[in-house]
Amino acid sequence: MGYEAGDTITAAQYNIFVNNSSAPFGYNHFAGTGSGEYGLGQTHIATVDDGNDSATLITASQFNTLLTGIDNIANHTNDTMTARTSVAAGDTIEIKSNLEADLATLAASVAAGSTSATALTTSSALQTVTSSAEGWNASATQEVSITFASADAMRHFFNAGGKVRITQGTSQTSTSPKDQSYIDMGTAIGNLDIGSQATTRSGSGETLTTNGLANGFHDLGTGYTSLIKLTSDNSNYTSNTVEISAKLNASVGSATVMTVKVVATDGANDTQFTSPNTESPTVPADIKDTPKIVTTLKTLNPNDTQGLASTIAPSATATVSNDTAD
């Protein structure tokens, strides 16, 4: 609720609510530029000059600016704020208690990557990378990059609930049993969404060989971190795998580019048989019958429909590599 002229709170206390950079965090720390896992890139609220007098009061307008900012961030993070009661003349205790609880809730939500935010716009396919041909025999590797205008913009994107989405599919002239093993692994991955503090998959199934889903943007370094590796459950192709990894071009706070790598391997290249060649030691009918691997990149961009001042999105994307090996 708003406060009327005549209600009292000191400038010193107000400045803590606005600008404190340690617990209890002020609004500017988690909603403004911030650092690390804090910060959404919103306009900073000005502090009040108390003239070295701790008893200096603020105006209702100044206090309502803070309350509006809090409500805007809560709308984006989908947090419920503490109910506020009217202020008795000279009494700041109840306001302080309620505001500290609200600010702590919002700071925690931002630090977790605004996981309950729903004001996200899914982009169209920003990059679609397709292997040059079917019939690779060892591996197919594809890399895509996502670039932000600044290191702060990159942090704010993920802190506000933004995600990088990767899907792995296939393309083939006709679907062989070996092709199906890669189709099944792509389905099992589903949408792989790289968030602030973790990664999620919408699919299920196949053998989870490497589980790096606890890693998100803030966990990445300059070397590739494996987010997920699946091994085919198809009895003929249990050596075939798909792995997705990610890295940054610098440490968080300096990084502006994320690169995601998809690697499909054909370790079972000697186990495919077709009638009448159905049993070993008969020579396999087509040991190179692998599909084109298709990697698609999208982003889920925090938008301005529920409290943020503007949409936060990457500035550019690119295909970095598209190779096969025999």
- Outline where DSSP puts E strands in the chain: 120-122, 127-130, 139-147, 163-171, 192-194, 199-201, 207-211, 225-231, 240-248, 257-266, 292-302, 316-325
The sign of the CA dihedral 234, 236, 238, 243 is negative
pLDDT of 99 above 90: no
**Cα separation, 164 vs 178, whole angstroms:** 29
**With 0-12 CB in 10 A as exposed, 13-18 as middle and 19+ as buried, what is 128?**
middle
pLDDT of 173 above 50: yes
Task: List the single range of 20-29, 42-51, 85-94, 260-269 with lowest mean pLDDT.
Answer: 85-94
Confidence label for 57 from pLDDT (cuts 50, 70 and 90): confident
- Supply the pLDDT for residue 265: 96
pLDDT above 70 covers what percent of the chain?
86
Angle 44-46-50 from CA coordinates, rounded to 5°? 155
- Supply the pLDDT for residue 82: 82
Alpha-carbon separation of residue 226 from 159, 212, 221 (angstroms):
21, 6, 11
> What's this model's pTM, rounded to 2 decimal places?
0.91
pLDDT of 103 above 50: yes
Q: Which of 10, 104, 125, 94 is nearest to 57 (CA)?
A: 10
pLDDT of 112 above 70: yes
Alpha-carbon separation of residue 283 from 18, 134, 269, 287 (angstroms):
73, 20, 12, 9
- Supply the pLDDT for residue 224: 98
Helical (H) or strand (E) element with 96: helix 93-111
Phi, psi (rounded to 5 degrees) for 315: -90, -25
Average of pLDDT values for 177-186? 94
Amino acid, single-letter form, for residue 318: A
Using DSSP, state whether 296 is helix, strand or coil. strand
**Cα separation, 84 vs 101, whole angstroms:** 11
pLDDT digits (tens, 9 = 90+) for 119-132: 999 999 999 999 99
Confidence label for 298 from pLDDT (cuts 50, 70 and 90): very high
pLDDT above 90 covers what percent of the chain?
71
Confidence label for 257 from pLDDT (cuts 50, 70 and 90): very high
Average of pLDDT values for 70-89? 80
Tell me whether strands 240-248 and 192-194 are parallel, antiparallel or unpaired. unpaired
**Cα separation, 126 vs 200, whole angstroms:** 20
**Cα separation, 218 vs 26, whole angstroms:** 22
* Mean pLDDT score of the chain: 89
pLDDT of 52 above 90: no
- Supply the pLDDT for residue 93: 46
- Supply the pLDDT for residue 86: 43
- Supply the pLDDT for residue 269: 61
- Supply the pLDDT for residue 289: 79
Cα 123 versus chain centre, distance = 14
Using DSSP, state whether 5 is helix, strand or coil. strand
Average of pLDDT values for 137-165? 97
**Could you state, in order of their start, the residue ranges of all structural domains in the chain?**
11-111, 120-325
Q: Which two structure tokens, joined as six digits, stand for 316?
A: 């550019």
Tell me whether strands 257-266 and 240-248 are parallel, antiparallel or unpaired. antiparallel
Give the residue with greater pLDDT, 292 vs 273. Answer: 292
- Supply the pLDDT for residue 4: 53
Using DSSP, state whether 10 is helix, strand or coil. strand
- Cβ distance 296 to 167 under 8 Å? yes
Confidence label for 240 from pLDDT (cuts 50, 70 and 90): very high
Confidence label for 278 from pLDDT (cuts 50, 70 and 90): low
pLDDT of 85 above 90: no
pLDDT of 309 above 90: yes
Confidence label for 6 from pLDDT (cuts 50, 70 and 90): low
Give the residue with greater pLDDT, 63 vs 214. Answer: 214
Residue 61 CB partners (closer than 8 Å, separation 6+): none
Per-position DSSP letters for 184-219, written without gaps between them: HHHHHH-SEEE-SS-EEES---SEEEEE-TT--GGG
Q: How is residue 318 annotated by DSSP?
A: E
- Supply the pLDDT for residue 176: 86
